[in-house]
Chains A and B, each alone.
Chain A
Amino acid sequence: MNGQSSRLWLAIRCSDLPLAALTIDDASTTPIVVAEKKVVVFANALAIEAGTCEGMDCTTAQLLTGCRVADRDLDKEQQVLNDLSEKLYQFTPHITRFCSSESADSGLLLEISSCLTLFGGLKNMTETINAFLVKTSYEFKMGLGHSEKGAWYLSFAGFDITGDETEALFLERLNPLPVELLFDYPKAMESLIKTGFRCFGDIARQINGNSLSSFKKRFGHDFIDALCDIFNIDQNFHQSSLFQKPRDSYKPQEWFEDEVQFEYPVTLVDHLKPAIETLLQQLSDYLRKRQQECQHIEWTIMDIYRHKEFFGVSSDTPQSYWTLLYDLTLIHLENKELPFEVDVIKLVCRHSLSLQNRSQVLDFEQARRRRASITDFAVTIAKLKARLGDDAVYKLSYRDSRVPELTNLAIALSEKSNQTLPEIFKKSLRPTWLMSPPEKLEERNQRLFWRGYVFLLVGPERVIGNWWDKPVARDYYLARRHDNLHLWVFFDLYEKQWYLQGVFS
């Protein structure tokens, strides 16, 4: 085993996270179990006293003890851990999350070796963290160790932290821990118990005696990696401890938020423009410094009576510069009256993404100009969409179907059009304008009428299909209106009705 590690990990295991995350008011006075997929994953003290245990069917638990059953909410648990990480960031930047795949145990692992001097030593630091955690509404078990997994498993043992711990002491403390704690590796745990391993010490003795190879053959790499982490074994014997595994750093969530307060109440959109420009320029600076870009911003206008109005501005392509967002905001405000006298305007950009690599193609022959595509007009398209809505700007694509109106598909500009026309349709008579849905033709004086009398010229082309949805049987004709306009009409064999499907133009 390697005794050179200088790292120190503090595990903070939230023992009641599934229940605490649900924020149930009478959790301390009522027996409550938290269930996931109808199986109890957590029971509070009152429920345990009443006879429930983890792994029990929730219906059985309810019938047996009359306890209340609450559904587990993993998102809320992650949110709690996220909030805790945010608060513990003041102690160390190296925070990782530990979530068990087999049980409800979750928590945080803090690497504190680099922060000990700042907080006056190990004992002082752990006491400060403990005092901080006690103020929260969650229950915690702490464990100190030389490795991530070592600290995590030692949190089940409940040793006091004195400040004089060494790696040898940690390994000694690990020895009496039962093998059942390895529940995240159920197959390996079961095999170890069947083979006669009772505690971590038995595993350590086996490794010292016969190296790791016997475990590796039986339990695979994942379990071996876990054992190496627990006992701090370096598997790379040729370059022992030359490199240490890098620590993950917690990155607190950042967002842009700024506001401008006016010296006088603003009633005209024009007077908002300088403030909008200033705020967007600040956002642009913020994004540029972090090499980020954003697609959506939120504006809030407020008056002195705290009335608020929100509106969002989105762009199809991520932006790091302010001009397009400024134009889109003005389009949004165009032709609108302010609902009240504006006192404050606030800009919030909650979500940003890292700047994408942009490359320019060298184009000496101006060939690219001829192949102009929609991406070249992203700004124009964004402005059109801001004005008309996303659905008003679209592209067309072909969809395979026997029914003409079903073959025409409106797709978003970012999607690729299907242009594979079946051979059968390549020489069929098709109009350039499509009526979707088809328009009914009138019958006047035993003649067809659509804004004028219609005469049949060529046909029919029979279309039958779509039997799995709404059966269609139609006879299509080329027709001509009295003013020489050519139409594509059909007679619906089910409805016995003439329709206009398209116009040749």
Chain B
Amino acid sequence: MSELPPDEPAPISIEQLLLREDTWLGHSGRFTNRKVVSTGYSELDDGLMNQGWPLNSLVEVCQSTMQAEWQLCLPALRNMPGLVALLNPPATPFCQAFMQVGIDLERLIVVNAAEKADFVACFIELARAGVGTVLAWQPEDQLTYTELRKCSLATTEATGLCIMFRPAEAQQQNSPATLRVFAQLVPGGLEITAFKQRGFLQKHQPRPVIIPLPEVWQPALPFYALNQKYVASKPQPKRRLASVTQLPVRGKS
């Protein structure tokens, strides 16, 4: 005669629970997304989990209005297949600049959705469709945690990179995004601080990484010095050469 199963299940110890594959552990990295695409900047890659932008996840970039967002994303976009959907961009992308850096204009789609409800619906639609890369700029109305959560869930069905640009103030709010970074232009370049990475236990204050800006953006010479003839004949006082700000505004002199 076989033994009957006991009426009450045997108690399970905490150790046994921790051994289960589906138990979440903060720093185990068990549930972290290992699919990434390199940011194109080795220093930034080193500061991110799995050495790159996480794919199929929501990446949040907090910055004040327009910063150097294209400098941040362009190297990754070159390595990503598919389309690049720009949702609610702050201005019109200038096609000459994109052609100069070798981005195929056929890949760029612009979607203008200024209303918050439309923005969320379009973000979810684009992410779920797996168009490739979704770069979204949050509309004027702040997104609630629930709306961000919806966007975040939609990105889990995506196949590519989904980055949402949010205002600098949003850094103080909770967000379900997998990776949250703060971007700020500084004299040396673009300063990136990854202040939240899911599955990454931050023991110290996050160290900012500075991405250099293109050299062509920097003046080779002070503005006055461009006119060599003028400089040679009439050397300016040192104080005035230091900056072009004291140039009289054109048309007003």
On whether the beta carbons of B126 and A380 are closer than 8 Å, the reply is yes
Q: A395-B106, A397-B105 are in contact. Are A434 and B219 (CB under 8 A)?
A: no
B43 sits at the interface (CB 8 A): no
The complex places the Cα of A220 from the Cα of B240 at a distance, in Å, of 90
How far is the CB of A466 from the nearest CB of chain B, in Å? Answer: 16
A-facing mask of B70-82, CB < 8 A → 1, else 0? 1100000000011
Min CB distance, A495 to chain B, in Å? 9
**Chain A 428-460: CB-based contact to B (< 8 A → 1; otherwise 0):** 111111111000000100111001010111100
Q: Given A372-B131, A396-B95, A502-B94, are A448 and B249 also a contact pair (CB < 8 Å)? A: yes
| Complex Cα spacing A372 to B126, Å | 14
- In the assembled complex, the Cα of A446 lies from the Cα of B90 at a distance in Å of 29
Beyond A433-B90, A446-B248, is A392–B217 a contact (Cβ under 8 Å)?
Answer: no
- A318 at the A/B interface (Cβ < 8 Å)? no
> Which B residues are CB-close (under 8 A) to A478?
217, 219
Report the bound CA distance from A493 to B219 in whole Å.
Answer: 23
Q: Mostly helix, strand, loop or mixed at chain A's interface? A: mixed
Query: With an 8 A cutoff between CB atoms, is B25 at the interface?
Result: no
Q: Across the interface, which residues of B come within 8 angstroms of A475, CB to CB?
A: 250
A243 within 8 A of B: no
Segment from A107-115, A155-163, A189-197, A481-489 that makes contact with B: A481-489
Instruction: For the complex formed, measure the closest distance between the CB of B220 and the CB atoms of chain A, giving whole angstroms.
Output: 8
Contacts of A453 in B (CB 8 A): 245
In this assembly, does A306 line the interface, its C-beta being within 8 Å of a C-beta of chain B?
Answer: no
Residues of B55-75 whose CB lies within 8 A of A: 64-71
Scan residues 64-87 of chain A and give those whose CB is less than 8 A from a CB of chain B.
none
* B251 pairs with A496, CB closer than 8 A: yes
Contact call A370/B81, Cβ cutoff below 8 A:
yes
Is the CB–CB distance between B105 and A417 below 8 Å? yes
Chain A residues numbered 401-419 whose CB sits less than 8 Å from any CB in chain B: 404, 407-410, 413, 416-417, 419
Q: Is the CB of B67 within 8 A of A485?
A: yes
Q: Is the CB of B185 within 8 A of A392?
A: no
A96-115, CB < 8 A from B: none
B122 to chain A, nearest CB (A): 6
In the complex, what residues of B have CB within 8 A of residue A419's CB?
99, 104-106
Is A393 at the interface (CB under 8 A from chain B)?
A: yes
Question: Chain A residues with Cβ under 8 A from B16's Cβ?
Answer: none
Counting CB contacts under 8 A, is A242 at the interface? Answer: no
Q: Which of A395, A457, A486 contacts B108 (CB 8 A)?
A: A395
A486 contacts across to B, CB distance below 8 A: 213, 217
B68 to chain A, nearest CB (A): 5
For residue B9, CB closer than 8 A to chain A, the reply is no
Q: Is the CB of B243 within 8 A of A455?
A: yes
Closest chain-B Cβ to A100's Cβ sits at a distance in Å of 50
Instruction: Select from chain A the residue with minimum beta-carbon distance to B68.
Output: A505
Complex partner residue of A398 from B99, B122, B226, B250, CB under 8 angstroms = B99
Contact indicator B113/A388 (Cβ below 8 Å): yes
**Residue A289 is within 8 A (CB to CB) of chain B in the complex:** no
- Of chain B, the residue at the smallest CB distance from A457 is B219
Q: Which of A222-266 contact B (CB under 8 A)?
A: none
Q: Which of B100, B121, B244 contacts A455 (CB 8 A)?
A: B244
CA distance A484 to B245 in the complex (A): 14
Which are the 3 A-B pairs with shortest beta-carbon distances? Answer: A434-B94, A380-B129, A433-B91
Besides A393-B110, A434-B93, A475-B250, 14 other A-B contacts (C-beta < 8 A): A369-B81, A370-B82, A384-B126, A396-B95, A397-B105, A427-B100, A430-B97, A433-B91, A434-B94, A446-B249, A456-B244, A504-B217, A505-B70, A505-B71
A-B contact pairs, 13 of them (CB 8 A): A369-B81, A372-B81, A387-B113, A433-B89, A446-B248, A447-B249, A451-B65, A458-B219, A483-B185, A484-B186, A502-B94, A505-B67, A505-B71
Which residues on B are within 8 Å of A, measured CB to CB?
64-71, 81-83, 89-100, 104-106, 108-113, 117-118, 121-122, 125-126, 129, 131-132, 185-187, 213, 216-220, 223, 226, 243-245, 247-252
